[in-house]
């Protein structure tokens, strides 16, 4: 459920460190989304469920913020993300 940091930050070059930090932060936010959504499914208390799903939505916003930063720092990532979107549209439509 909880990911291990998949990179050795201390061994990452100066030019790459910020991109790696952002990617690790995105992984952490995605783990949090999964955790809160799974917990919300496990409870029968509607109040708890509502709060957990609200927190999960906030984590999704954090993913968007971090991804926006990453795309500013890594132009190749931005380009490949767009290519991926185009491929999906070609295969399954809009």
More confident residue, 81 or 5: 81
More confident residue, 94 or 93: 93
Asked whether 59 and 33 are in contact (CB, 8 A), the reply is yes
Residue 34 lies in a domain: yes
**pLDDT tens for each residue of 77-88:** 999 999 999 999
Asked whether 31 and 3 are in contact (CB, 8 A), the reply is yes
Residue 43 lies in a domain: yes
Residue 6 lies in a domain: no
Residue 1 lies in a domain: no
* Count of structural domains, the chain: 1
Task: Give the integer Cα–Cα distance in Å for 2 and 30.
Answer: 10
Structure token pair of residue 59: 């984590």
Residue 3 lies in a domain: no
- Domain residues for the domain of 36 are 13-92
- Hey, how many other C-beta atoms are within 10 angstroms of the C-beta on 29? 20
Query: What's the confidence (pLDDT) of residue 15?
Result: 76
Global pTM exceeds 0.85? no
């Amino acid at each position: 459920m909880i990911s291990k940091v998949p990179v050795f930050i201390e061994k990452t070059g100066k030019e790459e460190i910020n991109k790696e930090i952002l990617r690790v932060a995105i992984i952490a936010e995605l783990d949090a989304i999964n955790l809160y959504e799974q917990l919300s499914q496990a409870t029968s208390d509607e109040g708890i469920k509502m709060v957990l799903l609200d927190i999960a939505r906030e984590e999704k916003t954090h993913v968007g913020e971090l991804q926006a930063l990453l795309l500013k720092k890594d132009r190749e990532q931005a380009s490949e993300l767009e290519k991926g979107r185009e491929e999906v549209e070609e295969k399954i439509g809009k």
